[in-house]
A and B are shown apart, each in its own frame.
Chain A
């Protein structure tokens, strides 16, 4: 089976500072990969390099496109990459405000990607928008409300709906539960897990919250100072951490 995403030796430096160094992994269809590490460990840099928002200094990011098969997204043309990022890819930002248009209604937010790929039938767009609101557990009566009238958790769910409406195959998530209280986090994670399994999505989740990866991720990658220090199955890494930093990370989690 061809991996959905092959990352080969990706590196990004900020001047003399290392953003991330020599990262390689394969992601197969339907697989969820977690990237954990402390602040400044290069998680977000890596994610942005993979999603095309940053250009890596070295390395290849090969995505298995629907039509043309595996292509290097670093060297492909910008229109192609932007097309990918609004059809086959989705990016869920930590702050919903970064990923939503706050002055546009919930329905318009969800419909934007549909219209961007050429949908020009109002009723169909609206129907899909209300269907997706239902799937992310937002009442359909809120379809014409602006996201600024939504709670933090609802904004985050709306952002997810807006991203998944075109049926992407790969979702990048940057701290999807950051800044939400624990009960809202739990619901969001529950919903995400349902969507990922139901749609057969592949996902790369960057987080510092070990509970999130425990729940969602099949595999785990631990980063420190821009380097990958440990990889493995999620429960293997969390239950039997080998690297000193991973041991520290696991033991730092507060037990209630």
Chain B
């Protein structure tokens, strides 16, 4: 047994965060302020997500942590180890086996179920922030549903690039009420947000928690003549050959060679283990 209280935070703090989570679930898309604590990691590394995970974990849970889709990057590894040490819970890299998945910048390719909770790390929870710097004003705009400004951003995209160029953190309207920043996930993932799993969003530095309950309507904003399109690189995965997954571009050498691979490492591995091979991949051992 470790010397930490279960899941690092003390019980009062977890209680406070759980209250915020319940409120967030009751008002989908609404940003609930909470008293964010200092965590033993820098802001921007997922302090909000970690606090939400800590408040939702039970000793029977299995945790998966992904960073940009990958299980093996610094952020994912260190947060997984953090909870292994402070909560003594089981961890996994397999999406299906996890009961709580903390994620940064991706939604797993495998469909989530009603038994799972997806926890997002959020850097800037306010979708209107870069258009309207005053917090008092953005709160009022949310309260009065004055969301015309959000479309000004999309208008600017089209006028400059000929299409809606916003590729990540694409604003959505939740259950016809609140406009929400889905955290910096690629817009490819936006349609997946209407899912059976609970989605919780934690922003540590900005001290906000918001949530999307299961089967909640999530609509990506767009124009009538420029409808929303979930985009991805137009290639199959180089390792597993998947054509339906979101891809990372990897530079191979300085002669211009590159490959596209699934950003969801668990999805890619499970496909290769099932015998699927892409153009640049090798048979799984």
Contacts and interface: CB of A to CB of B under 8 A. Distances in A.
Interface stretch (B6-14, B44-52, B222-230, B262-270): B222-230
A123 to B, nearest CB: 5
Contact of B223 (A107, A118, A120, A143): A120
Contacts of A101: 131, 152
B151 interface: yes
Interface residues of B, number: 17
Contacts of B222: 120
Interface string A105-146: 101100111011110111101100000000000000001100
Contact of A108 (B152, B223, B225, B226): B152
Contacts of B136: none
B155 A111 contact: yes
B223 A122 contact: yes
A117 B145 CA distance: 11
Contacts of A121: 223-225
A122 B226 contact: yes
A107 B155 contact: yes
B149 interface: yes
A120 B149 CA distance: 12
Interface in A68-99: 78-79, 82
B257 interface: no
B158 interface: yes
A128 B146 CA distance: 21
A121 B224 CA distance: 5
Given A82-B146, A120-B224, A144 B159 contact: yes
Contact of A115 (B151, B158, B159): B151
B156 interface: yes
Nearest to B156: A108
Contacts of A108: 152, 155-156, 159
A101 B146 CA distance: 16
A112 B149 contact: yes
A78 B145 CA distance: 12
Contacts of B131: 101, 104
A82 B144 contact: yes
B225 A116 contact: no
A188 B135 CA distance: 35
Interface string B142-180: 001010110110011011100000000000000000000
A116 B156 CA distance: 15
A116 B159 contact: no
Contacts of B223: 120-122
B136 to A, nearest CB: 13
List the 3 closest A-B pairs by CB distance, nearest first: A116-B148, A115-B148, A115-B151
13 contacts: A101-B131, A104-B131, A105-B160, A107-B155, A108-B159, A112-B148, A112-B152, A120-B222, A122-B158, A122-B224, A122-B226, A143-B159, A144-B159
